[in-house]
Structure formats: structure tokens, C-alpha cells
Amino acid sequence: NVVSKLEGGLSVIRISEDVVVKCGLAATRFEACNQQRAYKILVSVIIRGSKVYRFFSNSLDTYLIIKYING
């Protein structure tokens, strides 16, 4: 269930009702860390942010597993 597919091999794939995988070279550890920080800050306010479940890489491919937020 592909949510988004961009040039350069970056894809966002929905793997369950509330989880997506962002995969490709553009999914970076830096982005994962930033999303984790943002989630910790936003969890106490009304604005919703994506919770990062996991980040890992395999050779050239990287994977960022995050909570799916509709909209």
C-alpha cells in the first residue's frame, strides 16, 4: 500500500492501519532523531507528530518506521 513514491527511490509504504515505512536513501538517521525530538516536545500539546518506532539501514537502503497520521 504505497502512500507516496518520489523520484530518487524514496517511498512511504503503509504496512498496517497506523504504521508506515519511509524507505530509500532520503530516509536518514538525522531525520529519525529530529522526528523523535519533535514527538517528545509535541506529545504534551494539541499538535500531533509522528512517533518513530525504529530506524535501520541495510547496505544502501534505509528504513524509518513511523506512526501513520492521516491527513
Report the CATH number at residue 36.
3.30.200
Q: Which residue has the cell 504534551?
A: 44
Distance (Å, whole) CA 30 – CA 33: 5
In the chain, the number of structural domains is: 1
Question: What's residue 4's pLDDT?
Answer: 74
What is the number of alpha carbons within 13 Å of residue 50 lying toward its C-beta?
Answer: 21
Q: Which domain holds residue 19?
A: 2-67
Distances (CA, A) of 43 to 36, 37, 49: 11, 10, 7
pTM beyond 0.85, yes or no: no
Instruction: Provide the pLDDT confidence category of residue 8 given band limits of 50, 70 and 90.
Output: low
pLDDT at 61 > cutoff 80: yes
Stated as kind and residue range, the H or E segment containing 47 is none
